[in-house]
Amino acid sequence: MSVENEGVKLNNDVIIPQIGFGTFKIPDGIQTLEAVREALDFGYRHVDTAAVYENEESAGVAVKESGLKREEIFITSKLWVSDFGYDEALKAFEKTMNKLKLDYLDLYLLHWPRAYEVNKNTWKALERLYDEKVIKSIGVSNFKVHHLEELLKNANIVPAINQVELHPTFQPIDIIAFCKKYDIKIEAYYPFAHGETINDERLKVLASKYNKSVAQLVLRWHLEKGYIPLPKSTNKEHIQSNLNIFDFAISNEDIEFIDKLNTGVRRGVDPDKTPF
């Protein structure tokens, strides 16, 4: 059994653990507290939360009670769209920090793209916070190529991360290629496609070849591709098994097989068609 969470170097030389613990839809309070605590106890060193998840406070408590040094844990939060704008973003960041009870944040993301001018002004606020060293890295989430192209027109800092939906059956090739060109690392949410991949018979057969679960196989595939997956669970066994993927490697042939499962069909919201 291995719980060695390897790191990836971002474009500003900050190291991010390659597997993060996701907290989307985990309710604030005891559930988030226990899930994050279990994850940290077992070896995760990267926790992903967001203002709109409404569980920053409990995540912060779990981090504080973990007994780990602050610099040992990589913590991400995200700015919700209702707080976009220069002044609004600065105020929202302060609220996030008060909830997390931290002196600095490792990564802060624009959660979803908005109109060009709004994105531009909001990004300026994040650049200021980065320059003030209260955030170690800044990035975006759910940005398509055209959003990134627009942002980069006036950005002083290239995003370190783009967090997007990504799993074997949805691999946004154009976004992946663009991000690679600008050294923007890809974080993958919904790594199991809402559980769809777990029940994929093709992946069950392949996972058995490595004596691993489908979840472990899929997460290992993310690592092999250079992505940063964010599995989420409140189940103790799943939390642990999702990190036990550093003791095997997938052959090039099998990576290509998984690559070919791409259908181009999202399981989540299209960033150009957001309902909020």
CATH number, domain of 106, equals 3.20.20.100
Q: Does 208 fall in a domain?
A: no
Would 72 be classed as within a structural domain? yes
Give CA 226 to chain center in angstroms: 13
Domain that residue 133 falls in: 7-193+226-246
Note whether residue 142 is domain-resident: yes
pLDDT, residue 4, reads: 57
Burial 126-145, CB ≥16 within 10 A → b, else e: beebbeeebbbbbbbbbbbe
Give per-residue pLDDT as tens, 190-232: 999 999 999 999 999 999 999 999 999 999 999 999 999 999 9
At 276 the pLDDT is 87
Residue 17: inside a domain: yes
Q: What share of the chain is helix, strand, coil (3-state, %, to 5)?
A: 45, 15, 40
* Low-confidence spans in the chain with pLDDT less than 70: 1-4
CA 232 to chain centre: 10
Q: Which residues are catalytic?
A: 53
111 belongs to an annotated ligand binding site: yes
The whole-model pTM stands at: 0.97
Residue 8: strand, helix, or coil: strand
**In angstroms, what CA-CA distances link 4 with 59, 191, 247?**
22, 19, 9
Kindly state whether residue 52 falls inside one of the protein's structural domains: yes
Q: Is 249 left (phi over 0), alpha (psi -120 to 50) or beta?
A: beta
Q: Is residue 12 assigned to a domain?
A: yes
Split into its structural domains, the chain has a count of: 1
Q: In this structure, is residue 125 part of a structural domain?
A: yes
Question: Helix, strand or coil for residue 7?
Answer: strand
**Residue 269 located in a structural domain:** no
